[in-house]
Amino acid sequence: MPVQFHNVCLEAFAYTLPDEVVTSEQIETRLAPLYTRLRLPEGRLELMSGIRERRFWPEGMPPSEKSVETAEKAIRVSGIQRRHIGALVHGSVCRDFLEPATACGVHHQLDLPGECLIYDVSNACLGILNGMVQVANMIELGQIRAGIVVGTEDSRSLVENTIERLNSDQSLTRNDIKRVVASLTIGSGSAAVLLCDRELSQTGNRVLGGVFRTNTGGCKLCQSIGMETLMETDSETLMREGIDVAKETFGEFLDAVDWSTAEINRTFCHQVGRAHRKLMLDVLKLDPAIDYSTLEFLGNTGSVALPITAALGIENGYVKKDDHIALLGIGSGINVVMLGVEWQRSLLEREMRPSESRGEKGPVRKIR
C-alpha cells in the first residue's frame, strides 16, 4: 500500500550504543561444550553471518532508560521545542513491562506535553519504521507539528539463554542448531527519529512517502518461544521469502516516490547478516557501493538496526545534499516497509570536525 507525504520532514536521527563489546569469538569460546560434542569448526559464527561483534547493555537495565537518553539527543539536535511534540511512539521489541506502555515512562522522563499521544508499537524489526509512518501520517493530516519514534533493544538475555540451551541440551544435532544460531547474532542499541512539519523544519529533509506490504504466511518462520527469552528461526526460508516480498514491494516503492532505481543515491537497510544483505541488493538490482553497513560490528539490533545505521552513515558523511535515500526494512512476520527521503542537510554537521564531514564508507569515528 503506497503512502505519500508533502509536509513531513525527517529532522533528526539519534542513537546510543552500549559500551560492552562481545565478539563472535567470545561467544564460541562459551559454546565450547557444544562445539566439542558436535565437532564444529571454530570461526563458523562470523563466517556464516559476517558479524564480528555485537554489544550488550548492563544487566537489568530497563529499555526506557536508554530510550529517554536517545530521544533527548534527537530533541537537542533538532532544536524542536517540546511543546510542539504531539506524539511519542516506542517501537522496539524490548519494553519495560507488558503494561503500561513503555512510552509512558519515556514520556514522563522527557517532560513532554500532556496532550502528546503516546503508545508502544511492536512489530519485530519494523517497529521503528511503522512508528515513523504513523507519526508522518499525523503530521501530514495536520494533527500534530512534530513527533518522536524511539526504541531500545537489549540482546543480552536472548544470547545468554541461547548459549545455555545449546550447551545443556545434549539431544541437539547440527541440524537442530540451525534454528537457533540467528539468536547469537543479535545485538543491543537504541535509536530515535524526530519528524516534523515543513514550517518547523531547519533541514528540509523531506519524507516523500513509501509503501508497505506483508505476507503473513511466513508468520511462523521466526518466533519467540512462550514467554521465555528464546527464539527459533528458519533463517534460510525467512531470508528467501522476505526478499521475495521486498522484490514485490520495490517497484511500488519507486512509483510512490517517483524515482527510478538509478536515482537512488544511498540505501540504509535492516541489518541481518552478510548473505541477506548481498542477496537483497542483488535481487533489487542495487549497487552495494551505495549501501551503508553496520552488521559487522553491531550485529542485528532488531527494530533499531536501520535507524542506527542511517544515523551513523549520516554522521560519518556518507550522505550529501539532494541525495535520494531509500530506507528498506524487512521484518519477520513477514513485513516490508520502504520509505524515501530527499536529503538536504544534517543538523549534526555543525558539531562535526571538518575532517569528518566527508569520509569513506564505514564509521569514521571510533565508537568503542
Catalytic residue among 9, 94, 116, 125: 125
DSSP letters for 155-182: -HHHHHHHHHHHHH-TT--HHHHTTTGG
Q: Considering only CA atoms, which of 126, 218, 237 is closest in space to residue 178?
A: 237
Catalytic site residue 248? no
Quote the distance between the C-alpha of residue 81 and its chain's center.
Answer: 26
φ/ψ of residue 55, rounded to 5: -125, 155
CA distance 323 to 28: 41
CA distances 249 to 145, 211, 245, 252, 337, Å, are: 30, 7, 6, 5, 8
- Helical packing angle, 127-140 and 305-315, nearest 10°: 70
CA distances 232 to 167, 204, 221, 273, 335, Å, are: 16, 42, 8, 16, 18
Catalytic site residue 99? yes
- Sign, CA dihedral 237-238-239-241, equals positive
For the beta carbon of residue 53, count every other beta carbon within 10 angstroms: 17
Are 330 and 270 within 8 A, CB to CB? yes
CA distance 271 to 329: 9
Q: Considering only CA atoms, which of 329, 301, 290, 317 is closest in space to residue 70?
A: 301
Q: How far apart are the first and last CA of the chain?
A: 40
Please give the positions annotated as active site.
Answer: 99, 125
